[in-house]
């Protein structure tokens, strides 16, 4: 990672920690859903951004009140015949690349690929003049969107039991427990909670075998909650249902984790992306995001 990329990387982590210390979770979208996916996407590649890049772009969108979650690089805007307006500042996003080592080999004797972090700057389409007209998806009614989430969870196939007054994933039984739907304030709250517990379900040993205890010590469970919360936020955005903050009691833990480990938010974002990808595969749904490609 070069010095400039490291500075941008540290600045994003610091901004997320500052939000958490104010009691604000940057993965909670403060705007009402329009019935169209709120997951940030690139207008040229047509792919969604992933991991902590989603948080970076949501924070920029919120701070500057951009009307859409569509982004483009300076070069892409120019190639499309558009022009980023003078004085506009873009948002940094990060991706993993790799180079072949000239001195190290892997177990097969091939040159070892050494990963490193690079960054791009992207601009919201609201910052660009002269872009070609694009077809804007028609907003879908809530009943249709909620039915889509219901079908998604059915296709994933996890065992769900309803009853009681708590939601959780029980690893020993490999069962997700949720209160009855009528116990929730609204349907979106029920589905958001269900997606959160499905993210925990992906961490079972037979699936993604996700454990953090050795690295994060006493904060291991809070970190797993962060992964689940990010996973649910990404899924809620993709499925165009409102995302709300769950487990606010963990905000202090999250701030401590992210403030004490500059890589933690990137680890959490990557593991959340893995969880979302696992659930999409289980549900038989196509994925359109590449973990290593930012734009």
Domain limits, the chain: 3-282
Residue 264 binned pLDDT confidence (cut-offs 50, 70, 90):
confident
Kindly report, residue by residue over 121-154, the tens digit of the pLDDT. 999 999 999 999 887 778 888 889 999 999 999 9
CA atoms within 13 A on the CB side of 110: 5
Percent of the chain residues topping a pLDDT of 90: 44
Looking only at the bridges linking them, the beta strands covering 175-178 and 160-162 are parallel
Residue 217 binned pLDDT confidence (cut-offs 50, 70, 90):
very low
Which helix or strand (DSSP H or E) is residue 113 part of?
strand 111-124
Q: Which one, of 197, 261, 252, lies nearest residue 228 by Cα? A: 197
Q: Is the Cα dihedral 20, 198, 57, 32 positive or negative?
A: negative
In angstroms, the first-to-last Cα distance of the chain is: 18
**Residue 120 β-bridge partners:** 93
Q: Which long-range contacts (CB under 8 A, 24 or more apart) does 218-221 make?
A: 219/253, 219/256, 219/257
- Best mean pLDDT range from 34-38, 108-112, 205-209, 211-215: 205-209
pLDDT score recorded for residue 245:
66
More confident residue, 2 or 10: 10
Question: Do the Cβ atoms of 33 and 187 come closer than 8 Å?
Answer: no
* Residues contacting 177, CB < 8 A, separation 6+: 160, 161, 162, 163, 164, 166, 167, 168, 169, 170, 197
Task: Enter the pTM of the model.
Answer: 0.85
pLDDT score recorded for residue 37:
79
């Amino acid at each position: 990672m070069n010095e400039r990329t490291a500075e941008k990387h540290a600045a994003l982590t610091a901004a997320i920690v500052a939000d958490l210390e104010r009691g604000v979770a940057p993965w909670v979208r403060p705007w009402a859903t329009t019935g169209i996916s709120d997951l940030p996407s690139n207008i040229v590649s047509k792919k969604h951004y992933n991991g902590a890049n989603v948080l970076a772009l949501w924070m920029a969108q919120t701070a500057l009140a951009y009307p859409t979650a569509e982004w483009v690089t300076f070069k892409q805007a120019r190639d499309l015949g558009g022009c980023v307006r003078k004085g506009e500042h873009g948002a940094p996003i990060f991706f993993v690349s790799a180079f072949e080592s000239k001195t190290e080999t892997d177990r097969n004797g091939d040159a070892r690929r050494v990963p490193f972090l690079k960054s791009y700057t992207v601009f919201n389409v609201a910052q660009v003049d002269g872009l070609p007209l694009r077809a804007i998806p028609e907003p879908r009614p809530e009943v249709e969107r909620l039915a889509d989430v219901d079908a998604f969870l059915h296709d994933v196939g996890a065992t769900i039991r309803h009853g009681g007054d708590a939601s959780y994933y029980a690893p020993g039984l490999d069962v997700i427990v949720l209160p009855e739907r009528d116990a929730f304030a609204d349907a979106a709250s029920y589905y958001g909670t269900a997606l959160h517990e499905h993210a925990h379900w992906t961490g079972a040993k037979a699936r993604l075998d996700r454990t953090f205890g050795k690295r994060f010590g006493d904060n291991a469970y809070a970190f797993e909650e962060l992964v689940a919360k990010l996973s649910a936020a990404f899924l809620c955005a993709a499925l165009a249902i409102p995302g709300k903050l769950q487990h606010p009691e963990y905000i202090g833990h999250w701030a401590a984790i992210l403030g004490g480990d500059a890589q933690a938010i990137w680890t959490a974002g990557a593991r959340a992306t893995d969880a979302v990808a696992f659930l999409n595969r289980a549900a038989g749904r196509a994925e359109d995001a590449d973990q290593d490609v930012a734009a």
